[in-house]
Chain A
């Protein structure tokens, strides 16, 4: 073997006996006559021995793992985990009511919740939602990324979140509340209700707040896990502390919404309800309308973080090409826009106007459910989501009454 063909990797593999026999023989012959390579080999051997010696000092627990106990503990953990999966993204489900990939909504919210204005005196950029736009996601690209596996993504993210997130205000269970005056008082903003209609239930949702210290390696590991090691989280993200505050909100239900409100107030009811055939289940009908309203969530982050740059990574993660991501990023005002991802083929959407505000009108494509609408808009810093059954005019007229 020629000297030019020798390299550190081959020599290291030679040391470990990890080469094909012919290759090892050729290297052995070369080493006999090459001082430089012998020297290099000695250095590599020294490093390897040092590592071996150190790692051998780490406790190789003499106690044999008790697999039976571990299996029992694992089963318990699995049950707990599956239970919490049912309850995890309820806020997002309620506010967006998007069918399909709710985990993807969470990812893009975490990564792109829209910025609003720089607040130089605190060296923080304060992000506040002022408008909503819709981004259509290609389900084929998501499938390739493994993103359709809601549970997996939740597991990966929850592991990172559990280590890096400090919850400064823990969300409480929703509470039934008597009227809009009390709701306004408790929520801290003027609650708007549909005129000439009495809500069948009014719920107060507590606020929540958390801080997350961003660890670039770990966020990158989520991308790697999804097979997207080609995407790179910017260095500027590392070590930055991002704060998220979701203010208290109010949900109003009108018409026959079944027992959805009582199940939110008392999850034990939901837990006992297992099948649609269960006689105890109270189903909602076409008269059901729900209205969610809450002040814009606020995300604070150091100014070194460029949300557009992070958004580009997020969009590519969701299956967009680099060019399309760059183009889309330029069309969005990242200082004020909440981007709602919609899975192509599962939901259809259009941009409409509600009292002069841009709104996103979404419907499931499933013909059996396509009469249901979800309308989302922002007015004076309050995010609204109105859900019900009917055509576009019904939806927009209903929303316009909230003026």
Chain B
């Protein structure tokens, strides 16, 4: 790997092609619109390009990309919510989800549930949300420690705390949803 200040174009293209599919996959999980996810990914690679090959000194380009992409996607998710751009639910015809046909109503409920999960992620501290995304994208503790520049021994504790907070927020969210549903049903019945 060149240690000069600038990337060699062919070298950068190889890195882009190697890492892009994995990175965009994580970002697409966080952001509803694929176009926005792709834009965020392009920004992340642009930053890598600007940063130069020095970032790869420890052979940790993947980790840097994961850290930067998860942070950028959570930032974008929060920004969308601050601007009132909540997830748009689409009414679809019968759709196939996981190989099974779903009714439009079931699909709407699925979309709503996804929006709630993203809402919980957006409420977590940035580092906690990143840890959850990285761990549940299959990174080992060693890889997470490298990506997040944290001590290996602290990952278990940090992960446990992040999961506990996610669970608590999620439960609260579900209780609110359950309270809302009878009210909506009553209103619709009037």
By a beta-carbon cutoff of 8 Å, the part of chain A in contact with chain B is: 7-13, 16, 18, 44, 46-48, 50-52, 54-61, 63-65, 67, 70-71, 73-74, 77-78, 81, 149, 151-152, 154-156, 159, 163-164, 217-218, 221
Contacts and interface: CB of A to CB of B under 8 A. Distances in A.
- Top 4 closest A-B pairs, CB basis? A9-B157, A9-B156, A13-B156, A47-B163
The B contact surface, by secondary structure, is: helix
A8 B133 contact: no
Contacts of A164: 79
A12 B156 contact: yes
B29 interface: yes
B50 to A, nearest CB: 4
Interface in B155-177: 155-161, 163-164, 166-167, 170
Interface of B: 13, 16-17, 20-21, 24-25, 28-30, 34, 38, 41-43, 45-47, 49-52, 71-72, 75-76, 79, 110, 113-114, 117-118, 120, 125-126, 132-133, 135-136, 140-141, 153-161, 163-164, 166-167, 170
The A contact surface, by secondary structure, is: helix
A63 B28 CA distance: 11
Contact of B140 (A18, A67, A151, A218): A18
B20 A65 contact: yes
Nearest to A47: B163
Contacts of B20: 65, 67, 70-71
A163 B36 CA distance: 13
Contact of B25 (A47, A55, A60): A60
B50 A152 contact: yes
A59 B114 contact: yes
A61 B133 contact: no
16 contacts: A8-B160, A9-B159, A16-B156, A58-B114, A60-B28, A61-B25, A65-B24, A67-B20, A70-B20, A70-B41, A71-B17, A71-B20, A73-B42, A77-B46, A159-B43, A217-B126
B170 A78 contact: no
A243 to B, nearest CB: 18
A54 B163 CA distance: 11
Contacts of B16: 67, 70-71, 74
Contacts of A163: 75-76, 79
B46 A78 contact: yes
